[in-house]
């Protein structure tokens, strides 16, 4: 872990609009007996919170319920090892270790559940309505354009633990966006960009949704996860093109999300075909 330099003129950490997070304050608010979270650490600049937490779990220095937050990720990862980078303190980059009691065949719902929890929390805490692009992106309206403001990555570690990584662009300015299709809560008109209450809101929402899902034995219907995801999913109702491994592609209207969290496409051949998140390389809309 690299020591965080003191703030000062010309220092890359000295942006006064981007104050540091307080690990002590976050622990007092979120780590409690009988709660989901067992530890919480805020690091300055690391490669990836998922990589860090997976390593800690393997080394026995972290347990299920651990949360690792980074002020900056230098090698953040998304699906298929896509990169995720942003200036220091400009976003929320964190990972959570979970040990579900639900059957393993239902664990595919965890990244979708995290999306529901995050979108729900952001609507309350920032005033920004976000939507979900199946399977792992969070979208918001920026000047009339649908932009990606966040992403979710789930990794299984060992036989009984899953690490969920969440990255959110909070205060990124237009000249800091990595690609034209990216956005941030600030650019979407958020009521505020203080990361502390935003992080608390997302983690509390995740604890609530995860608890409901796990208590329901991972049943997406009984827990409300399936209906909530479908209600907030921007992909449903659109014509999409799914790129598959090997160069194959599938085009159709996204009509439903099935009980396994798969996207159901109605193809021009009149066939409904479910597609799993692990089977796709890329998904894009075909609407003009």
| pLDDT the model gives residue 1 | 47
pLDDT in tens, 45-96: 999 999 999 999 999 999 999 999 999 998 755 544 556 678 999 999 999 9
The confidence band for 288, taking pLDDT boundaries of 50, 70 and 90, is very low
Which CATH fold would you assign to the domain 236-285? SH3 type barrels. (2.30.30)
The confidence band for 286, taking pLDDT boundaries of 50, 70 and 90, is confident
pLDDT in tens, 211-258: 999 999 999 999 999 999 999 999 999 999 988 888 888 899 999 999
CATH 3.30.70.370 is held by the domain 23-231: no
| pLDDT the model gives residue 77 | 54
Burial class (CB in 10 A: 0-12, 13-18, 19+), 146: middle
The confidence band for 2, taking pLDDT boundaries of 50, 70 and 90, is very low
Average pLDDT over residues 107-119: 97
| pLDDT the model gives residue 3 | 47
- Rounded Cα distance between 40 and 23, Å, is 7
CA count, 13 A, side-chain hemisphere, 174: 5
The answer to whether the beta carbons of residues 42 and 17 sit under 8 Å apart is no
Mean pLDDT lowest among 18-32, 151-165, 237-251: 237-251
The confidence band for 13, taking pLDDT boundaries of 50, 70 and 90, is low
Mean pLDDT lowest among 84-88, 93-97, 154-158, 200-204: 84-88
User: Domain spans of the chain?
Assistant: 23-231, 236-285
The mean pLDDT value of the chain amounts to 91
Same fold, 23-231 and 236-285: no
- Rounded Cα distance between 200 and 92, Å, is 11
């Amino acid at each position: 872990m690299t020591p965080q330099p003191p703030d000062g003129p010309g220092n890359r950490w000295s942006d006064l609009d981007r104050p540091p997070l307080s690990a002590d304050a976050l622990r007092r608010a979120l780590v409690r007996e009988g709660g989901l979270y067992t530890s919480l650490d805020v690091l300055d600049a690391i490669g990836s919170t998922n990589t860090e937490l997976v390593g800690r779990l393997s080394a026995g220095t972290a347990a299920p319920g651990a949360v690792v937050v980074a002020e900056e990720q230098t090698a953040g990862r998304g699906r298929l090892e896509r990169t995720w980078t942003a200036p220091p303190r400009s976003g929320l980059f964190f990972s959570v270790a979970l040990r579900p009691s639900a059957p393993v065949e239902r664990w595919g719902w965890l990244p979708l559940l995290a999306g529901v929890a995050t979108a729900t929390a952001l609507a309350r805490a920032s005033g920004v309505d976000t939507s979900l692009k199946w399977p792992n992106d969070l979208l918001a309206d920026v000047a009339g354009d649908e932009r990606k403001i966040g992403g979710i990555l789930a990794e299984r570690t060992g036989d009984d633990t899953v690490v969920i990584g969440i990255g959110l662009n909070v205060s990124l300015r237009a000249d800091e966006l990595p690609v034209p299709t990216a956005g941030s809560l600030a650019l979407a008109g958020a009521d505020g960009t203080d990361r502390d209450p935003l992080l608390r809101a997302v983690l509390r929402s995740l604890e609530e949704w995860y608890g409901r899902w796990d208590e329901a034995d991972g049943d997406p219907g009984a827990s409300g996860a399936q209906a909530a995801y479908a209600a907030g999913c921007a992909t449903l109702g659109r014509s999409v093109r799914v790129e598959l491994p090997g160069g194959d592609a599938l085009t159709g209207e996204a009509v439903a999300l099935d009980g396994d969290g798969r996207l159901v496409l109605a193809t021009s051949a009149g066939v409904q075909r479910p597609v799993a998140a692990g089977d796709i390389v890329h998904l894009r809309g075909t609407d003009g």
